[in-house]
Structure 1
Amino acid sequence: MKSSKILAASLVGVTALSLAACSGTSAGGGTFRAANTTMIVPFAAGGGSDVSGRTVAQGLEAATGVNITAENREGGNGAVGYSYFLGRQGDGNTLLAAETSLLTLPIAQDVEFDHTSFTPIMKLGDDYTLMVVRDDSPYTTCDQVVEAAKSERVVAAVSGSVSLDEVVFSMVEQDQGVEFDRVPYESGGEVVAGLLGEQVDIASLNPSEVVGQLESGDMRALCAFSEERYEYEELADIPTATEQGIDVAFAQFRGFIAPGGIPDDATTFWIDAAEEFAGSAEYQAYIEDNYMQPNIAYGDEFADYLGTASTELEAVFEQ
C-alpha cells in the first residue's frame, strides 16, 4: 500500500496499441475489429461501480480510439446486469465493470453464471473498507465494538446480502465469535444516511464514500479492514483491524471483464488496451481519488485471483 505502487502502476505496459487500434486490429496481429463498444455497469448510476465503469470506458476509449459507452443495468444486487452480460457470449465489443458481486452472487443466489463464465481482462485495484461510527458514538476502536456485541445489541448497516460490508461483518463475526444485528440498505449513500440518522450503530464503508464525513467530524473511523495502514494522508492514522486483534482484511476488487467465448485476439486487444490505460494519468487519478490500492492483474493472473477469492468467500457464506 505504498505510494510507490501507484507510481509503478502508472508506468505499466505503455504499448504501441494506439496504432493497432487505428487499423481496427488487435496488437497481437489478429483479425478482431473493435467497433462501438458498450461498458455494462451492473449497478445504478452514481455509485462506485458506475464511477469505475465510466472511468475505464473513457480510458480505453483514449487508448484505442474506439467509442465506448457506459450503460447501467441495475437490479438484484448486480444479478440483472451480469445475467444480461452472460447473454453477450462471444461478443468482443461488450465489456462489464466488475466487482466482488461477481463472486458473491453465484455463492449466495441462484444465478446461471460464475466468474468462469466470463473472460477476465483487468483488475484495476483493491478497495478496502473502514468501520465507521457517528462522532457521538461510545466506541473508539473496533475491538470495543466486538466486546460490546458479546453482551448487547450492536446494529450494523449493510447494503445488500452479497455486499462487501456484509462479507466483512460476517468475517468479523466468524473471527471473534460474535453476532451483529443487520439493517439492509440499497446503497452506500443510504448507509451513510442511516448511520448519521442514528438508525444503526456501525457501518463498513469504502473510504471514498465517507472521507468527507471523516474530515467534517460527523463520523469517526475505528479501523481499516486492510492488510496494512493506508498511506493516504487523510487515512494514515487509522489502525488496521488486525492491530486490534481482529484478523480480518478483505477488499472489494474493481476491474473489467469481457464475455465468455470471445476470440483470443479480442482478449489480447482489450488486455493491451488495459495496459495502456494503466499507464495513464487518468488511471492514477482514479486510484488516488478513490483511496484504492493499485494491485493490478491482467488476463490469467486476474482469473487466478478470482478463483482464490471465490474460495475464500465460499468459506464465509457457508458459515
Structure 2
Amino acid sequence: MAGEDIEEVLETYQEQRGSFSALQPQLVALRAYLSRLLTQLPGRWHKDALGQTNYVSLVNELAPTLEAKGQAATFVTFNYDRLLEFAVQDVYGLRFGDIDDYVSSAAVHLYKPHGSVNWSQAARLNPNIGLEVQDAEDVLHMLIERAPSLEWLPDAFRVDEPDDGDPYRHPQSQTYWLPALAIPARSKASFSCPRSHLDSLAKDLNKVTTVVTIGWRGRERHFLDLLAEHLRADARLFVVAENESSAMETVDELWPTCKFSCYAISGGGFSAFANGNKIWAADAAAVHLPTATDLLSESAAISWMER
C-alpha cells in the first residue's frame, strides 16, 4: 500500500511464508528478479563511467595509507551489486573467482552479509527428485514453482561462472543453485553468506578502531547484534550521509550497541567524502567536510563528539 516501507512489507511476507506456502515461490522469484536487475544496471553504470565511480575514488584514497601502515582494509556492504568488487579489483588487482577470495587476501577483506548478484546458494528438492526440463530458464521457473519443497543447504555458496550454460543445475547431482540474496527486511533479515565469512568478519571486528558507515541507516538488527558481540570496545563511529539529520539517525541506531566512545558525522554525501570535495554554502564560502584521508591521518579537521 502507498506509504508503506518496502522492507517492512517484505519482512511480513517472510514471517508468513511458513503458514502460507504460496508466498514462498514469490520470494524465490524476487531473489531471481533482483539478481538479474542488479547485475545488468550497475555493470552498465560501471562501464559507462569508465570505472571512475565513487567506490574507486574511495578505495584509491584508502589503499596507499593503509598499505603504508601495514593495515588491511575491511569493507562490509549490504548492496547486492558488484560496484565495490569492481573498485577492489581495479585498485588492488584482486579477482573474486571463488567464494573464499573475498576473505583470503592479506590486503583487503570484502564482506557481503546479504549476498551478491554473482553468488548462488545450493538447494535440493524434497523429495529429492530431478526436473525433467532441460532449458535453464525452464529449470528456474520450475524451481520457483516448487519453492515450498526446496531444502536450502546453509553453507553451500559459490561464485557463478558468467558463461555457465545451465547456471541453476548441478551437472552430477540433484542439487540446484539459486541466487544467494537475502530478502530486504528492516529488523528480521538473515545473512546470506558462508559461515566462514561471518567467522572472519567477527575476527576483523575485534581489531577495528574506527567504523565508517556510508549511506547506511543501521537498522539491520542481526548485524547490529554482530557488532555488539564482536566489535572492540571504545571504537570511533564516523557516519557519512546525504545530510546531517540522516547521519544522526544512523548514530542513534548504532549507539545502543555500547561499543562506541565518540562519533563524528559528514552530511555531504558519498561523493564529497570519497573525493575530498568542498561543499559550497549559499554565501559562497567553502565548507570543508571530513574526507577518508582525514580519518586515516588523524586530522584535526574532524570534530569527535561524545554522548
Query: Common fold, TM-score beyond 0.5?
Result: no
TM range (shorter): under 0.3
Q: Choose between structure 1 and 2 for higher RCO, CA contacts under 8 A separated by at least 6 residues.
A: 1
Give 1 or 2 for the bigger CA radius of gyration.
Answer: 2
TM-score (norm 2): 0.28
TM (norm. structure 1) is 0.27
